[in-house]
Amino acid sequence: MLRTLFVLSEMAPYSKTGGLADVGGALPLVLGQLGVDVRVLLPYYGRPALHDLRWCCTVNVPYTGETTELWSLAERPQVLFLRYPAYYERDGSPYQDAQGEDWSDNDRRFASLNRVAVEIAQGRVSGLNWRPDIVHANDWQTGLIPYLLDLESRIGATRPATLFTIHNLAYQGRFAPSAMAPLHLPAADFHWLGTELYGAFSFMKAGLTYSDQLTTVSPTYAQEIQTSAFGMGLEGLLQTRSAHLSGILNGIDAIHWNPGADPYLPAHYSLQDRLGKAQCKSQLQSSLGLYPDPEVFLLGMISRLVEQKGTDMVLDILPDLLRRGMQVVVLGSGDKFYERQLLEMAAAYPAQMATRIAFDEGLSHHIEAGADAFLMPSRFEPCGLNQMYSLRYGTLPIVHRTGGLADTVTDADDFRHPSQCNGFVFDNPQSDALHHAVLRAEALFRQPALWSHLQDQAMAGDYSWQHSARAYFQLYYEVLARRAGGHSAPPARH
């Protein structure tokens, strides 16, 4: 049986700031169903409660004198929580304090996670009696793992294969070069072919340089990050590694996001019977103080309220959309300027617009079900999940053609692929292009037969993790075969 150590900095439902946590909560489970022996390693930030965990073993972190502990859930013993209270059990997010500033010791915090991962990978944690064939690291917080394992091989040690997934290239784990010495990393590797990135020491650069295989979270994003427009200064390196770079689209948790059984919804519905969706819309309007009218075009948006997500474009076109009689519901948080603008707009149009500055799981499900269309005009989006939630719920997405949005949404006017059309896509990330896409969507909303046909195609799609997990399963064996210099095929799956 193939053994995989899956390492990441957050995992739903225990800790979450974004889509990485959703991947961690879903992909390892599906890989396990395919026959992979997966162990997940992540920091323990205070959840779940300690009384729900069982102590596994102690791990001494090399070079640092830190004594850490591994704990696991009784019902999910394959999830290993790294406990070191001084680093991880703090007020704030996994990466920032309560004021939104990066923790000043993030380099040491995540280097400790990486060192423990290497101890497990090398079979040096006696309490586990387990060693992986491949280590799957995720985003900059785990970027040192491939590098540290490369250092192991330099002294003659056998190491497992490594795969490093880029979830968002914009976050690169950059630190001053002086951070390397306290982390006991060789200064000789601080150069442009090693861990150096424009004068800084970068965890992301280390992962991209030293991992056996690179993946990212959609095929289009894998191509985009090899260009200057999306490469964030790393496009040259990614071009040189293109033969070992794959794009595998993320999936969604099709059990948690299921309009036929969603506990957050006032009514359930399905592809075969969408009557419940109208009730979800009516109750969403009523609960948020909007005028309850089934004929009004209701737009939903759930997002970080930042420029990357196109919040400024939405603000630019809101006055005209509201003057035309549309309704808009916004849920999220982010830039204080955008938050204030959206709140002021909702106050000016209380019967047509609602803004909620919060994280609200229940409301997010209700918006996905109750809205007619979903706004997602991201300037760049490695994969995106909300557009897939929207498709599954028959809420047609309006998206900019980028990253995973381009890979999942086919424009209603794309006559080359009429059987795949399931939303509205615009090419130029500008307000007027978004505005035109919204007006196109409303025009089709006024044609119930065409709108229903698009909903049918949206809801009929398969957005689950099954296909993506099989792609990783195959890739694991390809990486192992390449390292072994021979052929290694995965067992047949039936």
CB 257 within 8 A of CB 228: no
Structure tokens, 282: 């009516």
Structure confidence at residue 19 (pLDDT): 86
The pLDDT tens digits for 472-483 are 999 999 999 998
Hey, what CATH topology would domain 3-251+465-484 get? Answer: Rossmann fold (3.40.50)
Smallest Cα–Cα separation from 299: which of 271, 331, 276, 275? Answer: 331
Smallest Cα–Cα separation from 396: which of 331, 310, 460, 455? Answer: 455
Structure confidence at residue 414 (pLDDT): 81
CB 141 within 8 A of CB 107: no
The class level of CATH for 275-459 reads alpha beta
Structure tokens, 427: 């090419």
What number of helices (H) and strands (E) belong to the chain? 16, 18
Does 28 have pLDDT greater than 80?
yes
CA–CA separation, 477 and 270 (whole Å): 37
Structure tokens, 369: 């079900």
Give the mean model confidence (pLDDT) for residues 307-335: 97
Domains 3-251+465-484 and 275-459 share a fold: yes
CA–CA separation, 74 and 35 (whole Å): 21
User: What predicted TM-score, i.e. pTM, was given to this entire model?
Assistant: 0.92
Q: 420 falls in which pLDDT band (50, 70, 90)? A: confident
Scan for tokens 């615009």, then name that residue: 426
Distance from the Cα of residue 245 to its chain's centroid: 18
Scan for tokens 């692929």, then name that residue: 417
- From residue 105, alpha-carbon distances to 39, 94, 101, 206, 307 in Å are 27, 12, 11, 18, 27
Smallest Cα–Cα separation from 213: which of 2, 483, 28, 7? Answer: 483
* Backbone phi, psi, residue 100, to 5°: 85, 15
Angle at 422 between CA 402 and CA 449, to 5 degrees: 150
- From residue 339, alpha-carbon distances to 302, 314, 342, 355, 400 in Å are 13, 12, 5, 9, 22
What residues form DSSP beta bridges with 332?
A: 303, 357
Residue 377 CB: number of other CB atoms within 10 A?
Answer: 27
DSSP sequence for 76-140: -TTEEEEE-HHHHS-SS-SSB-TTSPBPTTHHHHHHHHHHHHHHHHTT--TTT----SEEEEESG
Higher-pLDDT residue of 333 and 414 is 333
Q: Is the peptide bond before 48 cis (omega within 30 degrees of 0)?
A: yes
Q: Is the peptide bond before 13 cis (omega within 30 degrees of 0)?
A: yes
Q: Percent of the chain having pLDDT more than 90? A: 91
Return all residues near 272 (Cβ < 8 A) that are at least 6 apart: none
Distance from the Cα of residue 474 to its chain's centroid: 21
Return all residues near 36 (Cβ < 8 A) that are at least 6 apart: 1, 2, 3, 4, 473, 476
Distance from the Cα of residue 69 to its chain's centroid: 27
* Backbone phi, psi, residue 37, to 5°: -85, 95
Does 486 have pLDDT greater than 70?
no
Does 493 have pLDDT greater than 70?
no
Structure tokens, 70: 């591994």
Give the mean model confidence (pLDDT) for residues 112-119: 98
Q: 359 falls in which pLDDT band (50, 70, 90)? A: confident
Domain ranges of the chain: 3-251+465-484, 275-459
Return all residues near 287 (Cβ < 8 A) that are at least 6 apart: 366
Q: Pairing state of beta strands 200-202 and 174-175?
A: antiparallel
Structure confidence at residue 99 (pLDDT): 85
Mean pLDDT of all residues in the chain? 95
Cβ burial, residue 221 (10 Å; 0-12/13-18/19+): buried
Q: Percent of the chain having pLDDT more than 70? A: 98
Give the mean model confidence (pLDDT) for residues 203-227: 98
Residue 37 CB: number of other CB atoms within 10 A?
Answer: 15
CB 247 within 8 A of CB 218: yes
Q: For 353, which DSSP code?
A: E
Does 416 have pLDDT greater than 80?
no
